[in-house]
Copies of this chain bind each other. A is one copy, B any other.
């Protein structure tokens, strides 16, 4: 159940994200965290993942600053795991994944629906440009190399995980 791909030598924002959350089970652990799961036993029961794998994933997410621990019991000593701001920032990744799976795999049989509190309607994510507010159409993004000396994923992680 260990890592099966090493992206640390890539120089790419997507690879950087996968290096942090691309391990098996990690994104489902985070999905549950967004719905309020905080404790080891809850994840273990919901996911049915091996305990050593779950422990390794939680440890890695804490090391990367995506989750943080907080003691909820002194005797015996027990920690729960909370999403940091860095972890909360993954919500768009999970919501776009949910949308794709619901539409492209489940079709009209999506297992769950989100309601947007602001408008009280079913929530469908729409990705827009933060500058002009427009949605995307195919072929409307150009990639510009802005930082030819950018570090590799491994170097960037070594720096950000310390910070």
Contact = CB atoms under 8 A, between A and B. Distances in A.
A94 B1 contact: no
Contact of A92 (B2, B116, B127, B153): B127
Contacts of A86: 104
Contacts of A151: 106, 109
A114 to B, nearest CB: 4
A98 B13 contact: yes
Contact of A112 (B3, B17, B145): B145
A126 B127 contact: yes
A24 to B, nearest CB: 3
A100 interface: yes
Copies held by the complex: 2
Contact of A14 (B27, B157, B163): B27
Given A28-B15, A116-B132, A99 B92 contact: yes
Closest 3 CB pairs of A and B: A5-B24, A16-B101, A13-B101
30 contacts: A10-B28, A11-B111, A12-B101, A13-B97, A13-B110, A14-B94, A14-B101, A17-B97, A17-B101, A18-B27, A20-B105, A22-B22, A86-B104, A92-B99, A95-B136, A105-B153, A110-B147, A111-B146, A112-B144, A112-B145, A113-B144, A114-B141, A114-B144, A116-B129, A117-B139, A118-B140, A124-B129, A126-B130, A126-B133, A127-B128
